[in-house]
Amino acid sequence: MMRSTERLNTGRPQQLARRLITVSERHGIDVEHDPLYGRARAWLRPRREAWPMAEELFVTAPARVIDKQEDTFEQEWRALLSGSAARLPLV
């Protein structure tokens, strides 16, 4: 599984969740919200049922999350979005 993570903001969980909910609603994007822990998740590209799949989301998370991305992420992301993922090498 390839993953790219980028920290966009820091703050208190409830504040970040409210901000994500407000921005998402403004753009017509559904948000999952856990008010008990103040976490929120907005799916820009929901995950599919079958592989290969590409998913894209904004999520509130603990501040210790670091920016990271595998070396071949951009190539594989483009392949998934274009439908040419079957031509990617398996190794």
The range of the structural domain enclosing residue 76 comes to: 9-85
Residue 91, domain member (yes or no)? no
Given this model, what pLDDT does residue 47 score?
74
- The number of folded domains in the chain is 1
CA distance 42 to 23: 10
SS3 76: helix
Measured between its terminal Cα atoms, the distance across the chain in Å is 12
pTM score above 0.85: no
Kindly report the number of other CB atoms within 10 A of residue 79's CB atom.
17
Residue 45, domain member (yes or no)? yes
Summarised one tens digit per residue, pLDDT across range 49-85 is 767 677 888 888 887 888 888 888 888 788 877 775 5
Given this model, what pLDDT does residue 27 score?
92
